[in-house]
Amino acid sequence: MHGRPRKAPKPEDLAASTAKAEKLRILQSQFLLNHHQKIYTKEALELSSKLLEINPECYTAWNYRKHAVQHSLFESNLDPDSVNSILDQELRVVENALRQNFKSYGAWYHRKWVLNKGHSSTENELRLLDKLQNVDPRNFHAWNYRRFVAALLNRSDEDELNHTQDFIDKNFSNYSAWHNRSVLVSNLMKKKVQAFSRKDEVLIREYELVREAVFTDEDDQSGWFYHLWLLDQTVKAESPLLASSWPAHGSEITLSGDRYLDLGSSSPFNTNQFDSGSLPLILYFNQAVEGVNASTVTVSSGLNVNMDVIWKPILSNNSRTTQVWVGQLKFPEVELDSLGAYTMEVTLGHSQGIISSSGFHYSHPSHFSFTVHVLPAKTEPVEGLGSEKISWRDENFHIYESDSLESNSVLPLDHLSIKNEREPTHSSWQAKIIDEEISNFRELLDCKIGKLTLARLLTARDALMSSDKPVHSEEVLRLYSELMKLDPPHSRFYKDEHSLVLLEKVISGRESLLSYCFRYRNLTSSSSSNPICLRLNGLSLSRLGSFEKLLWVQMLDLSHNELQSIEGLEAMQLLSHLNLSKNKFGSFTSLEPLRHLKSMKVLDLSYNEIGSHSIDTTRYLCSSPLCHSVGSEWDGSETVTDGVSLVSYWEAFFILRGLKLTQIDIAGNAIADEKFTAFLAKVLPALKWLDGVQLN
């Protein structure tokens, strides 16, 4: 364990182990017989005690003893002394088990269960913990149990903090003590206890304490983890805020009645197709929230008429909360036949109801506005937006020029300027603390975790700045590049962090972002109304982020990168053209966010690794784990093509079946054989182009 080579057992040790195993098998056999027949005699209970003393991890035995206790307490009319005697015996059994294995989950849980009955004395618990923690002061089971006992005894957080400080003073290398300290400090700040009422003063004291630890032994990770927690407490916003939206504040959108939105050549950033008479509203929060509905978000027109919007969460997991909420803004059909303009106002936070996953209310009322021009219906969509095959070759993309008439069309590229009432501003103490830490940790660049912490501090400092452009991005990128070389086993983590910083640098400034924006112009079409393509290809990205600044994107080129996942891409609800070719996607499972992109028309997955990595089918009924989670509604009976069962391509079916793709490229993947292409042609009824070949 932990890199230590195993030694071959001695013959006498092997014989003793064999005898112990045989004894354990006999005990287990006798115990299970008692358990199945619900025998709770004194002899049966003693047998289970012996079993637990040998093997405290036998959860069934702990469960059996709970049943036995319940049987004794509720099946007989016992006096209080007899009840206490039964429960005290359980505590003794737990104590004997802990002597065998101090880290037994089952033993600690059983002890909590006994104390929660409310009949046992808790005075002895702290003495027991003192004995056990003197043997192993870093055991997190004991620290967790101590928090439980302290709550039962109504011990103050200040007393517990002093107790924790004693352990840290004895040995800085005690991660469990540092973690316990973070819990206690959080509680004291929430309660605004004296000396903990001002967050800045508390954090400054804690930084000084942990700085002593990391400078004493820079290779020990315990203090570093606590420092990371302090950094998070310094920069994070407790209450949720609206980070961005689409349409952007102050933008102008044109909607025509034939499901086509178009501002023509004057604004290629606002060209898209939507359902008849409607367009989406996208709200992107800085943290996951719930409670977005018509009562918490008000949408009104310039005519002071409230619009009825149904909000839906874009969930990428089973959580009840999400950062992205989408509503369909529908206009009255009678207005679609005549020219009209609507100034739309969106306000939120004026009534409670929006709550973050951490339990904080949206408490900073905000609003943004945009203008919608409603035009008469067109009979045909503008050429170039789905009527022809899309080719991702470099010669079809031309650098976007934002001068002359198009100078006003780049508004969606700017950082969203949402108007917040009582908007929280980052206080000077936050910047002061981080600047102090940056100065200190420049002295610890000889160790890997020192470099990593400095990179995190510089990134946090940029996040606190009022300007959008990160000032320290070049230094942060250099630090992560050095870490990839210094620490190869964790290079993937550093690579992901490097990608996030690089992407933030690319899209933060308008000048930088526009250099990655290209107008798509196919050789067969000279139309100037094709959407702008954001080309982030060939940047060696392994992870995606900064989605709050990319809500406007409709055409995205991520080819020639190192992506294995597109987590978070579901926020880009306008996305209709996506190139993921020549990345490192190993299966359709990693493409799960595509399910939420209902505007998707063109998808290039060519030359990835889909199908190259086998799945242990002995663990799953189907060849994909998806069928045991989000795809569990499939009963396994449906087939798509003759001889091709969904069981073979269940992931692809579940990811793609709700999309109205007109073009898909899958060539260059191990899965892309004749059967799979036939499957795609059948499961995607709107498909016109498959691997560059037009379908009949």
Four-CA torsion 109, 110, 116, 118, nearest 10 degrees:
-150
DSSP state of 243: E
The pLDDT score that the predictor gives to residue 61 is 92
pLDDT level of residue 621 (50, 70, 90 thresholds): very low
> Which residues are within 8 A (CB) of 338 and not within 5 positions of it... i.e. 6 or more apart?
374, 376
User: How far apart, in whole angstroms, are the C-alpha atoms of residue 620 and residue 615?
Assistant: 9
Q: Residue 298: in which H helix or E strand, if any? A: strand 297-300
Q: How confident is the model at residue 527 (pLDDT cuts 50, 70, 90)?
A: very low
**Per-residue pLDDT at 469:** 73
- The residues pairing with 322 across neighbouring beta strands, listed in sequence order, are 289
Q: Enter the tokens of residue 532.
A: 């702008």
Rounded Cα gap, residues 476 and 324, in angstroms: 28
pLDDT band at 417 (very low <50, low <70, confident <90, very high): low
Architecture of domain 16-235: Alpha Horseshoe (1.25)
Distance CA(223)–CA(453), nearest Å, equals 12
The whole-number average pLDDT for the span 12-27 is 78
Q: What Cα–Cα distance (Å) separates residue 616 from each residue in 388, 621, 644?
A: 41, 10, 21
**Does residue 524 register a pLDDT over 70?**
no
Confidence of residue 501 (pLDDT cuts 50, 70, 90): very high
Give the per-residue pLDDT at 249.
87
Helix (H, G, I), strand (E, B) or coil at 316: coil
Ranges 5-14, 92-101, 307-316, 612-621, most confident = 92-101
**CA proximity to 606, closest of 645, 658, 558, 543:** 558
Q: Which residue has the higher pLDDT, 556 or 384?
A: 556
What is the pLDDT averaged over residues 178-204? 92
**CA 369/CA 584 separation, integer angstroms:** 41
Q: Are 270 and 261 in contact (CB under 8 A)?
A: yes
CA distance between the termini of the chain = 61
The pLDDT of 510-514, averaged and rounded, is 85
Work out whether strand 639-641 and strand 252-256 pair parallel, antiparallel, or are unpaired: unpaired
What are 388-399's pLDDT values in tens digits? Answer: 889 999 999 988
User: Which residue type occupies 217?
Assistant: D
Q: What is the pLDDT of residue 238?
A: 82
Helices then strands, counting H and E runs in the chain, come out as 18, 23
Give CA 374 to chain center in angstroms: 38
Of 341-350, 624-633, 680-689, the one with minimum mean pLDDT is 624-633
Distance, C-alpha 149 to centroid of its chain: 33
pLDDT at 446: 80
Confidence at 254, pLDDT banded by 50, 70, 90:
confident
DSSP strand E in 405-471: where? 419-420
Domain ranges of the chain: 16-235, 242-381, 428-467+469-508, 533-694
For the segment 29-34, the average pLDDT, to the nearest whole number, is 90
Region 638-653 average pLDDT: 69
Residue 38 has pLDDT above 70, yes or no: yes
Residue 41 pLDDT greater than 60, yes or no: yes
The pLDDT of residue 251:
85
Beta bridge partners of 366: 348, 420
Kindly give the pairing relationship between strand 272-273 and strand 260-261.
antiparallel
Q: Residue 305: which pLDDT band, with cuts at 50, 70 and 90?
A: low
Q: How confident is the model at residue 419 (pLDDT cuts 50, 70, 90)?
A: low
Architecture of domain 533-694: Alpha-Beta Horseshoe (3.80)
The two three-digit tokens of residue 325, written as one number: 């909420």
What's the rounded Cα separation, in Å, for the pair 592 and 595? Answer: 6
For residues 655 and 632, give the distance between their C-alpha atoms in angstroms, rounded to a whole number: 13
- In this structure, the dihedral spanned by the alpha carbons of residues 520, 525, 529 and 532, taken in order and rounded to 10 degrees, is 0
Residue 422, classed as helix, strand or coil, is coil
Rounded CA-CA distance 300/281 in Å is: 13
Task: Report how far residue 77's alpha carbon sits from residue 597's, in angstroms, rounded to the nearest whole number.
Answer: 63
- Interval 92-114: pLDDT, tens: 999 999 988 888 999 999 999 99
- Residues 39 and 48: their CA atoms lie apart, in Å, by 11
**More confident of the two residues 211 and 332:** 211
Q: How confident is the model at residue 22 (pLDDT cuts 50, 70, 90)?
A: confident
Q: What is the pLDDT of residue 64?
A: 93
pLDDT (0 to 100) of residue 410: 47
Mean pLDDT of the chain: 82
Q: What is the pLDDT of residue 577?
A: 95
Percent of all residues in the chain with a pLDDT value above 70, rounded to a whole number = 81
DSSP per-residue codes, 536-595: -TTS---S---GGG-TT-SEEE--SS--S--TTGGG-TT--EEE--SS---SGGGGGGGG
User: Averaged over 251-275, what is the pLDDT?
Assistant: 55
Q: What is the pLDDT of residues 47-83, one digit of tens each?
A: 999 999 888 999 999 999 999 998 888 766 778 888 8
**What pairing do the DSSP bridges indicate for beta strands 322-330 and 311-313?**
antiparallel
> Would you tell me how many other CB atoms lie within 10 Å of the CB of residue 477?
17
pLDDT score of 1 more than 50? no
Largest CA distance in the chain: 95
CATH T-level fold of 242-381: Immunoglobulin-like (2.60.40)
**Spatial CA neighbour of 418 closest among 604, 586, 237, 241:** 241
Q: Which of 293-297, 550-554, 616-620, 674-678 has the lowest mean pLDDT?
A: 616-620
The pLDDT score that the predictor gives to residue 276 is: 54
For position 270, what pLDDT does the model report?
A: 54
